[in-house]
């Protein structure tokens, strides 16, 4: 008999990470980045967005983005494995139809697992606070727009033609 057989079924916790709990499509990631809120941590940034009524079925979904700037494929995959393990451990703390994207920083490579676990726990707890709004903050209409990908014009340095 293994140790798991002695635990009542109600006390068992599932640490699986099924497809229904993952963000998989590029469009879903884009929506979270555009319309969501950000939560900053020492080793990662969390982007969060409440899903609309038509897609609100199911629980929270989590996705990961790891930039090439963080290292080669081996390093990036190691980061993703660590972040998936952290998300699995804290998934039970998330409620409601929300999408979360975790974007790690370079400091995550040197951070201990316990430290990362505390940061994820703190960030997920912040999401569940009643005073935390998941709707995106109002954009400042007078603020300069971000570069939209149009043609850049090069201005010649003064005094030269």
pLDDT at 74: 95
pLDDT at 21: 84
pLDDT at 59: 84
pLDDT at 90: 86
The dihedral sign for the CA sequence 134, 128, 112, 86: negative
pLDDT at 141: 44
What pTM did the predictor assign?
A: 0.71
pLDDT at 14: 62
Low-confidence ranges of the chain (pLDDT < 70): 1-15, 53-57, 134-161
- The residues, any chain, with a CB within 8 Å of residue 90's CB and separated by 6 or more, are 117, 120, 121, 124
pLDDT tens, residue by residue, 34-65: 999 999 999 999 999 988 765 656 788 999 99
pLDDT at 147: 40
pLDDT at 9: 47
pLDDT at 102: 94
- The residues, any chain, with a CB within 8 Å of residue 123's CB and separated by 6 or more, are 39, 41, 46
Domains of the chain: 15-126 (3.30.230.10)
Q: Are 126 and 132 in contact (CB under 8 A)?
A: yes
Instruction: Say which residue the tokens 């798991």 belong to.
Output: 4
């Amino acid at each position: 008999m293994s140790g798991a057989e002695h635990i009542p079924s109600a006390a068992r916790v599932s640490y699986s990470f099924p497809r229904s709990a993952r963000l998989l499509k590029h469009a879903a990631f884009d929506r979270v980045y555009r319309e969501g809120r950000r939560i900053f941590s020492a080793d990662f940034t969390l982007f969060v967005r409440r899903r609309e009524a038509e897609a609100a079925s199911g629980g929270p979904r989590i996705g990961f983005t790891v930039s090439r700037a963080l290292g080669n494929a081996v390093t990036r995959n190691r980061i993703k494995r660590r972040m998936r393990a952290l998300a699995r451990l804290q998934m039970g703390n998330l409620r409601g139809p929300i999408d979360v994207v975790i974007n790690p920083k370079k400091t995550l490579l040197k951070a201990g697992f316990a430290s990362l676990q505390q940061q994820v726990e703190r960030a997920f707890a912040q999401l569940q606070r009643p005073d935390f709004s998941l709707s995106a903050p109002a954009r400042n209409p007078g603020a300069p727009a971000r570069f939209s990908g149009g043609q850049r014009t090069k201005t010649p340095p003064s005094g030269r033609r």
